[in-house]
Structure 1
Amino acid sequence: MITRMLQSGILNPHILQLIARIRHTNTLVIADWAFPFWPQIETVDISLTHGIPTVLDVLDLLTPVFKIGRIWQAEEFLASNREDCVDRFAKSFGDLPLTREPHVDFKKRVPHAIGLIRTGDPTPYGNIILESA
């Protein structure tokens, strides 16, 4: 028998294990470098340095293998970022349903997630919550 290691897509075994456990309507948080630690949910920390990787790096790798039903983001994201940044997020979100809500309400959703992936992203309010379809 010939076995081959993964050679493309998501290679991190901890992220692969985490997303394999997510079922219909479960949620996954992709967070920036400064997002608070939530001891009650599994966290996979892939932050290397300031800006590497970004929330969108992770989202763009997840999109082909993870059926996303909707996305949540803090409404403060729009007022805190330049238009080019907002456009980059919109491009990655595509046609997926997006709900923006006050940051305090966004954070109330976090403890219900199956897990959290922490990135090195410095984008203000760039955190997102994905709900599986």
Structure 2
Amino acid sequence: MIRHGILNPAIASLLRRVRHTNTLVIADRGFPSWPGVETIDLSLVDDVPTVLQVLDALRENFVVGPAWMANEFLTANDQPTREAFAAALASTELTHEPHVALKQRVPGAIGLIRTGDTTQYANVVLESA
């Protein structure tokens, strides 16, 4: 029996298939489905779990290289929210780009983890280092 780390078998399996420079998406509850991209939906209720909670849980098993978020995240959210995401991604090369450009990265991802996060534009594309 697993005693620590990722307990969800679908996420554990997904992480084991991510290789160098592959990407993984952690998305808020409103992010659309993508045909052909494995999606693990963890959303339970509003803000359970959040993108930041999932990111924190994955960090032990996933070495993050560059990351991308939408420019719109910066204008749609308050300072504490922006600071929380910046702190969580402080060790990465974070690039903000138009939301449309961010969505164009999704079809090439190994998988997408949808959360219950209600933070607007709280979607992160992570590249494996």
Shared fold, TM over 0.5: yes
Partner of residue 12 from structure 1, selected from 8, 11, 20: 8
TM-score, with structure 2 as normaliser = 0.98
Name the structure 2 match of 1:42. 38
- State whether structure 2 residue 15 is matched by structure 1 residue 22: no
1:132 equivalent in alignment to 2:128: yes
Which of 62, 67, 70 is the equivalent residue of 1:71?
67
Distance 2:42 2:34 in 1: 16
The runs of at least 4 consecutive aligned structure 1 residues that moved more than 4 Å come to none
TM-score, normalised with respect to structure 1: 0.95
Give the aligned partner of residue 112 of structure 1. 108
Contact 2:15 2:61 survives alignment (8 Å): no
Q: Distance in 2 between matches of 1:32 and 1:73?
A: 12
Name stretches of at least 5 consecutive residues in structure 1 with no aligned partner. none
Q: CA shift at 1:36, angstroms?
A: 0.4
Identity of paired residues, percent?
56
DSSP 3-state at the match of 2:34: coil
Structure 1 residue matching 2:46: 3-state secondary structure: coil
Query: Structure 2: which 5+ runs fail to align?
Result: none
Shift of residue 48, structure 1, vs aligned partner: 0.6
- CA–CA separation in structure 2 for the residues paired with 1:47 and 1:39: 19
Q: CA RMSD in A?
A: 0.7
